[in-house]
């Protein structure tokens, strides 16, 4: 990985020596941007001049990646420089480095593909993360919502939403289509067969609330309760959580909040059936910030412990990271899929995740879209403990 030439290609990713990157920027300041064909810049972090590229990279509209096969030759200041992601082949690399899953070549190829496919969302993400930890976490949540709203009006999300709706319509049509073959021995259809059964209809069960709230002593237990949908966050679940945290803010006797999920997963993230349902991005931003789950949790001022298990996707990973403590079951899996949709995280992930795992690892986790298990989440600090689900709130719901 010791680069001396102008450009070296590794699995489709152009790796530039720092001096070559600086020369390219001098010749054309817009060469690395989502408006060009190079929204990602990858340089050798151990070569002379890498720090100068990183300092300039803090303000570049591109994803800036530093790579090093051997961390022993990387200057110590590189970790605090302006790279968005730092990748290495070394296993168990210290923070802020990411030990490249499957090796540097494979990890770079994943990043190149994602950024090339979703350049506007990818660049917006790293720009958000660069400023996320510089101020109040609540301001970072609001900044994320602005970026999310802008991307909602962009071509990348529009393309994803159109494809998603097409595939959903195809699935509905397939489920409702009549059987393609008819049993010739079956009796012919008659009007008698369409007469409703004489047996009384089963009583309709009342709908369960999307959020269960129980106060025991000075502890408020809040349970996401859409188990059949893996606790996907829809309007009802969002409003239920907001109401629960506002209730907590009014109760001076509360000392703790316990947050958990019913069923096989903590949460599979936003309910895709509601994506794109608001009339315009401005209204969406207003709703997101006035009925914000993380902002209301923070405003309660009550220490919270999240007990997570199964799928923790999107909001299912972002929201627990706001809690004082996160306890994961061994089967917990964390994944951030929003970039593939042409969006950035929308439940506060660009504010909460970097405060737990650091900006560089948060950028890699979100950009790659790849899952990590409970052990890696613990090693990175995304969770604070791994415990069997038995005994957790809602473990038997």
Q: What is the pLDDT of residue 133?
A: 87
Q: What is the pLDDT of residues 166-218, one digit of tens each?
A: 988 888 878 876 665 545 554 444 333 333 444 445 544 557 899 999 999 99
Q: Is 251 helix (H, G, I), strand (E, B) or coil?
A: coil
Q: What is the pLDDT of residue 390?
A: 76
Q: What is the pLDDT of residue 8?
A: 37
- Report angle CA 68, 70, 76 to the nearest 5 degrees: 75
One of 55, 90, 318, 387 is an active-site residue; which one? Answer: 318
Structure tokens of 106? 């494979």
Q: Residue 166, Cα to own-chain centre: how many angstroms?
A: 23
Q: What is the pLDDT of residue 396?
A: 58
Which CATH homologous superfamily contains domain 211-386?
2-enoyl-CoA Hydratase; Chain A, domain 1 (3.90.226.10)
With a pLDDT cut of 90, the percent of the chain lying above it is: 72
Q: Tell me how far apart the alpha carbons of residues 309 and 373 are, in angstroms, rounded to a whole number.
A: 10
Residues with Cβ within 8 Å of 142's Cβ and at least 6 positions away in sequence, in order, are 289
If you ran DSSP here, which 8-state letter would residue 219 be given?
E
Structure tokens of 65? 């990646």
Cis peptide before 96 (omega within 30 of 0): yes
If you ran DSSP here, which 8-state letter would residue 292 be given?
-
Q: What is the pLDDT of residue 21?
A: 93
Q: What is the pLDDT of residue 319?
A: 98
Q: What is the pLDDT of residue 50?
A: 94
The ranges of the chain with pLDDT < 50 are 1-13, 182, 186-200, 203-204
pTM of the model: 0.87
Q: Where are the domains of the chain?
A: 8-117, 211-386
One of 19, 144, 156, 338 is an active-site residue; which one? Answer: 338
Decide the pairing of beta strands 219-224 and 256-261. parallel
- Provide the 10 A C-beta neighbour count for residue 343: 28
Establish whether 274 is a catalytic residue.
no
Q: What is the pLDDT of residues 66-121, one digit of tens each?
A: 999 889 989 888 988 899 999 999 999 999 999 998 899 999 999 999 999 999 99
Q: With helix as H, strand as E and coil as C, how does 310-370 read?
A: CEEECHHHHCHHHCCEEEECCCCEEECCHHHHCCCCCCCHHHHHHHHHCHHHHHHHHHHCC
Establish whether 318 is a catalytic residue.
yes
């Amino acid at each position: 990985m010791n680069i001396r030439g102008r450009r070296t290609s590794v699995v489709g990713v152009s790796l530039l020596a720092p001096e070559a990157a600086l020369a390219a920027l001098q010749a054309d300041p817009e060469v690395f941007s989502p408006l060009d064909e190079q929204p990602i810049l990858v340089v050798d972090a151990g070569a002379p001049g890498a720090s100068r590229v990183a300092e300039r990279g803090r303000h570049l509209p591109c994803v800036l990646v530093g790579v090093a096969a051997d961390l022993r030759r990387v200057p110590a200041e590189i970790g605090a420089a302006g790279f968005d992601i730092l990748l290495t082949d070394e296993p168990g690399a210290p923070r802020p480095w990411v030990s490249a899953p499957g090796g540097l070549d494979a990890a770079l190829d994943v990043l190149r593909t994602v950024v090339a496919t979703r350049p506007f969302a990818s660049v917006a993400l790293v720009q958000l993360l660069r400023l996320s930890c510089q101020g109040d976490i609540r301001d970072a949540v609001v900044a994320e919502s602005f970026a999310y709203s802008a991307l909602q009006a962009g071509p990348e999300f529009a393309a994803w939403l159109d494809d998603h709706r097409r595939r959903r319509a195809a699935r509905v049509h397939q489920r409702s289509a009549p059987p393609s073959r008819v049993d010739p021995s079956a009796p012919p259809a008659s009007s008698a067969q369409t007469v409703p059964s004489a047996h009384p209809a089963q009583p309709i069960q009342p709908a369960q609330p999307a959020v269960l709230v129980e106060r025991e002593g000075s502890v408020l237990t809040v349970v996401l309760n859409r188990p059949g949908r893996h606790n996907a966050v829809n309007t009802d679940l969002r409003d239920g959580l907001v109401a629960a945290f506002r209730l907590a803010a009014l109760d001076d006797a509360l000392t703790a909040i316990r947050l958990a999920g019913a069923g096989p997963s903590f949460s599979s993230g936003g309910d895709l059936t509601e994506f794109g349902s608001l009339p315009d991005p401005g209204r969406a931003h207003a709703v997101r910030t006035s009925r914000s789950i993380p902002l209301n949790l923070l405003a309660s001022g009550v220490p919270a412990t999240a007990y997570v298990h199964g799928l923790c996707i999107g909001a299912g990973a972002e929201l627990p990271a706001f809690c004082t403590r996160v306890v994961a079951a061994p089967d917990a899996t964390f994944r951030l899929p929003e970039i593939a949709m042409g969006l950035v995280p929308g439940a506060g992930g660009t504010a909460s995740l970097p405060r737990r795992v650091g900006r560089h690892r948060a950028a890699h986790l979100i950009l790659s879209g790849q899952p990590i298990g409970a052990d890696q989440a613990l090693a990175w600090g995304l969770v604070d403990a791994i415990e069997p689900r038995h005994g957790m709130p809602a473990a038997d719901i």
